[in-house]
Structure 1
């Protein structure tokens, strides 16, 4: 289970997310007020209303910071999958109005995205970072959890509460959610980097930084092969 200090930090970040995703003129609260993750270091700037333009995909920390984070991760064998269910990571929650987490990410990660009155993306263009595919229909995309839910379970999330897992599954602050082609997401499944890495090698640096930072933020374990592969992927980063 995450620390009490984590929850104090999460309460602060919840307020920041509300500011980021609600229109400036609205006083409507997020429908599912789950605490959101922190620490806030290395997160994207907040305070941009949705009607002022789409938010940007959070940039993971620089490679030097991430190498330090990786060195500090606890190495342990995977936990049992007994009791696992995706339902224990409730998603996608409503973020504002009719917009759930999936629709917020689709609007954020695409170009010229237009939404209907239910917040569903009806047009736009998306570049899938994993395989360099250009997509023009929302149904062609999945929202990938960079650290998959099942991997998180095996890495320590089996000890979390449901609200903690809901926070993880809907994290818009850290580099945990990204819109990618459905085939690449399904090929990845719940695999760790030693078993699957993006076919587009140009994205390895960002992917390894994002994966490592998410595990650091949530105090999740890594396996030894996973750690070795992450080091290899970080070696592709330009200094």
Structure 2
């Protein structure tokens, strides 16, 4: 291929690419630096990680450890008489939105709702497994301390009103939006039986569990306490 050169052969360009080359002037301006185009607002931005769901009232590690030490250790109670309907859940609040809708709105990003309070769009990032969802149907509201686990640790003796307050508690870290099948996998298991797959979330999960059991004066088993102590040790 025929080349014509600039500056005594220092820079050579193919004629097929550039024709009419002449000796470069010493006064030639420096090459311009290309400026990248502005980010397209329609495309997802990845410079910041998405925010995970974060319910209110999560204690710091020191407080959680202190509260754990105050919990009563006792054998797990019976499931006799348990019925999920004994914990009326997803009650309507003063704004006529039910508890599930309130948590979806609280824990999601850019959530838009219809006139009936149900989300029509948004993004939900599940801290248990790192899943990210744009359909509310892919998200469950997890009772951090499951209703059945609460029943076995003291709630069997509560009034219906107390159980309803527990099942719809928006002021404590007892309700959180997570991937639906992860919530179903967890079921009514306690921390000695199940923990989130994201090990980096174990500290937070244990802190939420302890906060809920402490608030409602629920008991824990020996193995449950051991698992919580281990998880809080990662904080």
Pick the TM interval, shorter chain.
0.7 to 0.9
- Partner of residue 148, structure 2: 150
Structure of greater Rg: 2
1:170 to 168, 176, 197: 168
Question: Could you tell which deviates more after superposition, 185-194 or 96-105?
Answer: 96-105
- Partner of residue 105, structure 1: 103
* Structure 2: unaligned runs, 5 residues or longer: 1-52
Distance 2:94 2:105 in 1: 13
1:123 to 121, 124, 135: 121
Distance 1:103 1:151 in 2: 24
1:133 to 131, 142, 151: 131
Q: Could you tell me how far 1:59 is from its partner in structure 2?
A: 3.7
- Partner of residue 218, structure 1: 216
- Partner of residue 193, structure 2: 195
Q: CA-to-partner distance for each residue in 1:204-226, whole Å, 9 max, x for gaps?
A: 11100000011001000000000
CA contact (8 A) 2:54 2:176 kept: no
* Pairwise CA RMSD: 1.2
TM-score, L = length of structure 1: 0.75
- Partner of residue 89, structure 2: 91
Distance 1:227 1:122 in 2: 41
Aligned residues: 183
Q: Could you tell me how far 1:111 is from its partner in structure 2?
A: 0.3
Distance 1:223 1:129 in 2: 26
SS at match of 1:96: coil
Q: Could you tell me how far 1:202 is from its partner in structure 2?
A: 1.2
Q: Could you tell me how far 1:68 is from its partner in structure 2?
A: 1.0
Distance 1:56 1:221 in 2: 25
Q: Could you tell me how far 1:60 is from its partner in structure 2?
A: 1.1
Q: Could you tell me how far 1:66 is from its partner in structure 2?
A: 1.0
List structure 1 runs of 4+ shifted beyond 2 angstroms. none
